[in-house]
Structures are given as C-alpha cells and as structure tokens.
C-alpha cells in the first residue's frame, strides 16, 4: 500500500464554491438577448449570464472573506447553465468569456496567491460533444463508435418514445457515457486533465467518479496528475464511505457529506425542514440528534480515514446539489452560525458555497442556485458575513485549527466541546444547540496546567483551569472558543 501523501496547501485552505452562471456577470462578454433577469428565481434551463470576468471583479469580496481557493462547477463549453453536459473540454464556454477569460482569472488569482480547482466531468459527455455527434450523424459508420457504448440502432437522443440504445448517466439520454474501457478514450481524458494542470489550475474536483469502474482508471489519473504537479488536489464527488478511493493511490479527498449530515442534524434541532433535509440523496440530515449522537457521527467522519486524508477532506454544509443549509434549518440564523463554527474549527478544508456568507437561501435545485445581488448589498445578512470573516480569520491565525489534533472534551445534552492542539497553540471549542445557556465543566488536565487562563477568542470572557477543570457558560444557540494563554 502506498504512503498516503496529500497536498500541504489544502490543509491551510478555505474553499469558496462558485456556480459561474449565477455568481456575477460583467460587461466584458457579449451576451445573447434571451437571458433571465438576474434577480428572477432561477430555472432549470434558463441562463443568467454570469461569467469569469464577473468573478475577477469580485475577487476582493472572496479574499476579504478569507477564502484562499475557489472550486468552480464546470466551466467548459456546454449547452446547459450548469455545464455538466460537456461539448468541448478544451474550450471554456463562450458565455463565460471563453479561454481568454479563464487565463485572465487564473492570472488574477495567482497574483493574489489563490488556488483554482476545476470540475472534471469525465464519466459522460453530451449529445453536442463532437465525438458523440459524429455517431448521431454517421451511425454505425462513425469512426468514434467505440468511444461510447451503443447497444442497438437507431439511436434516439431526444425522443423518449423509444429506448436511447446507448449507455448514459443514470439513463439520461442527454449525457452519453464515455467508454472508459477503450484505451483511446482513457488517454483522451488523461490528456485533458494534464492540459489544464499545465495551464495553471491547482486541482480537479471529479464529478460522479464512482461511475467510472474501468480497472486502474483513477490510479492512472492520480499518477499522471501528480507527475505534473505533486501538490495538485484531487477531490472526488463521493457521498458515502470512500475508503477504497482514499488509500493514497486515487483521490486525496472527497466532498465530505458524511460530515455535512450530522452537523446539520445537531445544529438545526427543531428548526429542520424535513422536506428539504430528506432529499433522496445519499445523506439525510434529519431527524435532529443530541450532542452524544453528534459526537459519534462526527468522529466517524473525522477518523474513518488516514490523518493525512482527514486534514484535506472537503468539508461543506451545502452545495449546488443540495438545498442551501439556511433553508434546511428553516432560515434560523443561529443554526447557520452554529454549523459555521463547527465547519471552521474541525479538521478538514472548509468549503463555503457562494452566497452562504451573506445569508443566501435556496430550496432544492434549481432554487439553490440563486444569484448574488451585488447591486443591493443592503439585502445581505451583514451579521452572517461578519461571523464568517471572524471565524475564518481565527482559523488562519491559529495553526491548531488547521493542523492540530482533535479530541472530544464533552458531549452532554445539546452541548458539545472538543479541543484542537498543535504544539503551544491550544484551543477548546464548545457549542450549545439548546435554547438556554449552559454552564459546563470541561476536563482540561491533559491540555493545560492548573492556574492557566483560557481567554475567549470567539465569544466573551476568560476562565481559569482549577483541579483539571474549566467551567464555561456556553450561550444558547451559539458557541465559544477558548485559547490557552
């Protein structure tokens, strides 16, 4: 078994996830006329016209927030607003500004010391992809016939009256599946991954990688990616136990939905909206759980994998595939704050879905893909923005919050506490999901000596260790972070 090595920069990173069509638009890109109004509710097929120059215009916002890396959902040429239907993996979508906009964005981010991760949709293409389109045009005579998996003729790429007669992702005829058992297809995909790494990206987020089952595919992908950039980040979209992918020979990390589930269950309590929490996806942040149950589920997520992996897991509260966490918790702002405290203080790389930092709500897709209103910042939740900045700043200023050892300190009722320690940087994080303030005694005999003062760096006050105990009052529906002095 190979030694597990993960990118060092990810251990210190704070990610910001952007859905490009909905984040921001600029005047730098020629826009077609049939765009939806920016402030209208999003639809499944409509375009808003966000572009990469719009991202450049708002890098100050992202950097002021404290994010150090951006993960973009797909940016390549496609005939859908989310761009998971790839036409051309070598061309950035013209509505996003094309390749010229990508290079401008890359350069702007590099000047700021920010990392850029792209979405790799390598399991399937689209009906508009050149190679599949050739099959549609030429049938059994197509030169690219064995690049996909055709069962019979005629193909029916649009009509639902007859079988599609080719393999497609979850039966969606718009998304023909690549034949990754074909060495030519495999090489084609590997070269795409290598190309964009050479063009300056810092990693790949892999869409539905579990759907590619060709022997050794992801092993070769890792070998070739790391040969170009040993510090490139490879993170898979796997919603469940990912042990088989995280042995040092395939991915560095996965999108950590087994972290998401218990955090929302614990923080949301009776504010959870069942129809948004129980989604039919592979995680169910419902029903509410107490602190003991939360501790067990959280620690299963944290310690399921090697420590090198745990430090780079992409921890998230929501994404473009889920209802926004603010909506899942019934737009209860305290629940959102609690969840963010945990997100920013446990091991792993925290990821903020664009707009969460300003209180953007959103139910199931496509509602979870709303636009940010840059022209009316008075509509933003300024308190949410402030605590996001504060917690990210604390994470940056305390190495223990990024790389320190985690240990549970207490879990009783609805109060949960843990420590993070790295050398002399020693912190205790306590959160209270209940509706009343709780006075708790926390054992710290293995953390600090008696007489040591611990000062609140989030929250108020200070406490002194006596008899191996500190007594802390944790505010209702909030938390406190203590640092040993």
**Residues assigned a catalytic role:** 207, 237
Nearest to 16 by CA among 429, 427, 314, 297: 314
Q: Is it true that the peptide bond before 154 is cis, omega within 30 degrees of 0?
A: yes
| Non-local CB neighbours of 334 within 8 Å, separated by 6+ positions | 477, 478
* C-alpha closest to that of 435 among 463, 414, 417: 414
Kindly tell me the sign of the dihedral angle through the C-alpha atoms of 94, 97, 99, 102. negative
Helices (H) and strands (E) counted in the chain, each on its own, are 16, 18
**C-alpha distances out from residue 71 to 255, 322, 482, Å:** 12, 16, 31
Q: What is the DSSP letter of 2?
A: P
CB contact at 8 A, 54 and 95: no
Encoding tokens for residue 263? 């955090």
Full DSSP string of 342-359? HHHHSSSEEEEETTGGGT
Q: How far is 219 from 336, CA to CA, in rounded Å?
A: 38
- Residue 141, SS3 per DSSP: helix
- Run of H or E residues at 204: strand 203-206
Query: In this structure, are strands 462-464 and 425-432 parallel, antiparallel, or unpaired?
Result: unpaired
What is the phi-psi region of residue 55: left when phi exceeds 0, alpha when psi lies from -120 to 50, beta otherwise? alpha
Sign of CA dihedral 230, 232, 236, 240: positive
Distances (CA, A) of 326 to 318, 364, 456: 9, 12, 27
Give the span between the Cα atoms of 116 and 113, in whole angstroms. 10
Residue 27: is it exposed, middle or buried by C-beta count within 10 angstroms (0-12/13-18/19+)?
A: exposed
Spatial neighbors of 67 by CB under 8 A, at least 6 apart, are 14, 15, 16, 114, 352, 392
Residue showing tokens 């953390």: 447
Distance CA 301, CA 310 (A): 8
């Amino acid at each position: 078994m190979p030694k597990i090595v993960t990118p060092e920069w990810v251990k210190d990173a704070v990610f910001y996830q952007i859905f490009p069509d909905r984040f921001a638009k600029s005047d730098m890109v020629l826009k077609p006329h049939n765009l939806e109004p920016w402030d209208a509710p999003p639809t499944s097929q409509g375009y808003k016209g966000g572009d990469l120059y719009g991202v450049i215009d708002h890098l100050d916002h992202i950097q002021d927030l404290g994010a150090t890396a951006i993960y973009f959902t797909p940016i390549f040429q496609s005939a859908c607003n989310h761009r998971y239907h790839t036409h051309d993996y070598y061309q950035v979508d013209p509505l996003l500004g094309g390749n010229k906009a990508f290079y401008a964005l890359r350069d702007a981010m590099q000047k700021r010391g920010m990392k850029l991760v792209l979405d790799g949709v390598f399991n399937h293409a689209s009906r508009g992809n050149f190679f599949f389109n050739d099959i549609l045009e030429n049938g059994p005579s197509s030169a690219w016939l064995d690049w996909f998996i055709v069962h019979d003729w005629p193909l029916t790429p649009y009509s639902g009256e007859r079988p599609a007669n080719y393999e497609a992702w979850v039966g969606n005829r718009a998304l023909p599946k690549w034949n990754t058992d074909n060495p030519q297809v495999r090489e084609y995909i590997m070269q795409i991954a290598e190309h964009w790494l050479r063009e300056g990206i810092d990693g790949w987020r892999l869409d539905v990688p579990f759907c590619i089952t060709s022997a050794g595919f992801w092993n070769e992908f890792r070998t070739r990616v790391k040969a170009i950039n040993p510090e490139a980040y490879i993170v898979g979209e796997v919603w469940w136990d990912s042990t088989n992918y995280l042995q040092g020979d395939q991915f560095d990390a996965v999108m950590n939905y087994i972290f998401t589930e218990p955090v929302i269950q614990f923080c949301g309590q009776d504010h959870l909206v069942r129809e948004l929490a129980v989604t039919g996806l592979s995680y169910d942040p419902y029903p509410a759980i107490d602190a003991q149950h939360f501790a067990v589920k959280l620690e299963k997520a944290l310690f399921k994998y090697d420590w090198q992996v745990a430090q780079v897991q992409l921890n998230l509260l929501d994404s473009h595939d889920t209802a926004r966490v603010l909506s899942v918790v019934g737009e209860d702002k305290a629940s959102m704050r609690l969840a963010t405290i945990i997100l920013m203080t446990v091991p792993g790389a925290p990821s903020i879905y664009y707009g969460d930092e300003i209180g953007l709500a959103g139910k199931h897709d496509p509602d979870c893909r709303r636009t940010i209103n840059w022209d009316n910042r008075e509509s933003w939740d300024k308190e949410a923005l402030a605590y996001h900045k504060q917690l990210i700043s604390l994470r940056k200023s305390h190495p223990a919050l990024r790389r320190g050892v985690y240990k549970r300190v207490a879990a009783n009722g609805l109060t949960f506490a843990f420590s993070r320690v790295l050398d002399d940087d020693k912190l205790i994080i306590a959160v209270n999901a209940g509706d009343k303030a709780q006075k708790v005694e926390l054992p710290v005999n293995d953390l600090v000596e008696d007489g040591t003062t611990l000062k609140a760096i989030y929250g108020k006050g200070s406490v002194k260790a006596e008899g191996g105990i500190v007594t802390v009052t944790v505010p209702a529906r909030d938390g406190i972070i203590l640092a040993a002095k």
